[in-house]
Amino acid sequence: MKYSATASIGAAVFPQDGTDFESLYKAADHALYKAKKRGKNQLAFFDEEIDAFYQASIGKSVQEMKLPSASCLK
């Protein structure tokens, strides 16, 4: 039996995508959704297109969104 692993990665770059953990985490998370939408084994960087999508959808930029409490990230 042969197994293989795949990975989709969302990336954010300091400082243009965020200057603290929360904003970078959110930006990378949203980039991850873009990578997954493209298919398996993809890498996507956070960009203005992703931020514009969230601003249009919910009226907030990614950096303005609140994360769940840090205890959820453990």
- The confidence band for 49, taking pLDDT boundaries of 50, 70 and 90, is confident
**Spatial contact of 24 and 34, defined as CB atoms under 8 Å apart:** no
- The confidence band for 73, taking pLDDT boundaries of 50, 70 and 90, is very low
**Spatial contact of 25 and 67, defined as CB atoms under 8 Å apart:** yes
- Cβ-based neighbour number of residue 47 at 10 Å: 16
Q: Is the pLDDT of residue 14 over 90?
A: yes
**Spatial contact of 53 and 25, defined as CB atoms under 8 Å apart:** no
Q: Is the pLDDT of residue 71 over 70?
A: no
Q: Is the pLDDT of residue 67 over 60?
A: no
Q: Is the pLDDT of residue 66 over 70?
A: no
